[in-house]
Structure 1
Amino acid sequence: MSMRRNEYAQPVGEPVPDWSPRPLPAEVTLKGDFCRLEPLNADRHADELYAANRSGADQRDWTYMFAGPFEDPQDYRRYAEEAAASTDPRHYAVISVGDGMAVGTLSLMRQDPAHGVVEVGNVMFSPVMKRKPISTEAQFLAMRYVFEDLGYRRYEWKCDSLNAPSRKTAERLGFTFEGIFRQAVVYKGRNRDTAWYSVIDTEWPAIERAFQAWLAPENFDDQGIQRRSLADLRTAEAAGQRQRNS
């Protein structure tokens, strides 16, 4: 593909015709088969979230979070009240469809509607969600909302460069690694080099199809074990797209 140049023969980016600022993330409920995302509400969710987050063997999941761990329900409720009152980040609770319990949280943050950029962050999925379809679907619902309902161009994921599980999750979900911002943050009295990842709007259709295929009932056996991984489905989708374009 030839590079676009302006009247001074300088290389310039592709045009973005009819672009306008996007809406901000709102107090919406996003429904899936395994879970729904709804605006965080301390009165409704705090006690359930505290119990879910404390259900593991220890509190290691808070190591790379800016907040926590919380030693008692009252401390967590105060945190949840502050988070629920925020519009950037906009916090959502993950509600299990099976029992209606709040089992995790995430937020849409660093909102830049003028340029169509937003970050998913403050992801705290309790042990109840680990290695289950609900955790993947929660991420899918947020991503679909950003690209399809709000019309954003770029969806970011950032984490401590030492947070191996978070980096692995970003790659599993289809994010592209963009590099390390050195000494980007000081938190909990220590340095953070930040790893940056993103998905852009032109990549979303293929990623969305892979998500849908992975979440389909036929992709799980009688024990709930996946038949094909999300990465395999994305690879198959990419191969099919190349074949269609040839």
Structure 2
Amino acid sequence: MSQHNQFGQPVGVALPDWQPRQHPQRVTLEGRLCRLEPLGMQHADALFAAYQLAEDTRAWTWLLREPDRDVEGYRAWVQSIVELQDPIHFAVVDKQTGQPVGTLALMRIDSKNGVIEVGHVHFSPLLSRTPMSTEAQWLLMRYAFDTLGYRRYEWKCNSLNAPSRRAALRMGFQYEGQFRQALVIKGHNRDTDWFSIIDSEWPEVDRAMQKWLAAENFGPDGKQRTSLESWRQPKN
């Protein structure tokens, strides 16, 4: 409940014990299906090869970058971002094959206020629409909330990117609204949709994800028995 100051004005809930949070580190995060490793040059060739498995370049439409023409170009991009403090890129490594199959990043890191965003999500055909892709997202969420103690975890996407919107809602993010004419990307206007999970919502999101990711939730054919949305309590 919002509190009031001496003038009777609402000033929000008091947070007397709040302290700035630690900046994320280049850590390795272990899951059942995949492992997140700090993106490095050792991943570049295998990642480029994984992205080349796509039938076309539609997965690049919503990314800020154009497709790399060759492996040298992708290596150069990896080299340009591996030492950045924001964003911090991670490679998603398939634990069954030991090969990297996609990347994602923590970005727009505001440790003073405990706010962080997941972005630069680029999953190859070996990762997209698999349980491993959900686990990769969950590992990064768990690091932000449980290890670092952040209060807010954001997801933003082009308003026209329907798959990204569906993914955010499926994982439990709450839609917050649209920033109109937020960016100019590749010569086109971009309206940006904002989604978030806050710390009070995280325990339910976490429980649902753990139940969905459990081995017993998948049949011999690898298909889910119960959807991720079904594991969350219905909203009133």
Displacement of 1:71 after TM fit? Answer: 1.5
Task: Report SS of the residue matched to 1:182.
Answer: strand
Q: Provide the C-alpha distance between the structure 1 equivalents of 2:168 and 2:68, rounded to a whole number of angstroms.
A: 26
CA distance in 1, matches of 2:135, 2:208: 12
Which residue does the alignment assign to 1:140?
Answer: 138
**Aligned residue number for residue 232 of structure 1:** 230
How far off its partner does 1:3 sit? 4.5
CA distance in 1, matches of 2:198, 2:49: 36
User: Amino acid of the residue matched to residue 204 of structure 1?
Assistant: W
* Counterpart in the other structure of 1:164: 162
- 1:5 paired residue number: 4
Match of 1:149 in 2: 147
Q: Tell me by how many angstroms 1:86 deviates.
A: 1.4
| Deviation digits for residues 170-207 of structure 1 (CA, Å, limit 9, x no counterpart) | 00110000001011111212111100000000000011
Q: CA deviation at 1:50?
A: 0.5
- Equivalent position amino acid for 2:18 in 1: W
Partner of 1:45: 43
Give the whole-Å Cα distance in 2 for the aligned partners of 1:3 and 1:225: 45
1:111 aligns with 2:126: no
- Aligned partner of 1:209 in structure 2 is 207
- 2:73 alignment partner, one of 72, 75, 92: 75
2:195 matched residue in structure 1: 197
Shift of residue 78 of structure 1?
Answer: 0.7
Partner residue of 2:30? 31
Runs of 4+ in 1 over 4 A off after TM superposition: none
Q: Residues 10 and 81 of structure 1: is their aligned pair in 2 closer, same or farther, counting only changes over 3 Å? A: same
Q: Distance in 2 between matches of 1:171 and 1:17?
A: 32
Contact kept, 8 Å, 2:3 with 2:14, in 1: the verdict is no
1-structure distance, mates of 2:115, 2:51: 30
Q: Secondary structure at the match of 1:218?
A: helix
User: Take 2:126 and 2:151, find their aligned partners in 1: how far apart are those partners?
Assistant: 32
Among all aligned residue pairs of Structure 1 and Structure 2, give the percentage whose two residues are the same amino acid: 53
Provide Cα deviations, 1:52-101, integer angstroms capped at 9, x if missing partner. 11101111101010112111111111111112121100000000000100
Q: Which structure 2 residues correspond to residues 48-127 of structure 1 after superposition, within 5 A?
A: 48-127=46-125
More helix by share: 1
* Structure 2 unmatched runs, 5+: none
- Give the CA deviation at 1:7: 1.7
Moved more, 28-37 or 3-12: 3-12
Deviation at 1:12, TM superposition (A): 2.0
Q: TM-score, normalised by structure 1?
A: 0.93
Matching residue's letter, 2:97: D
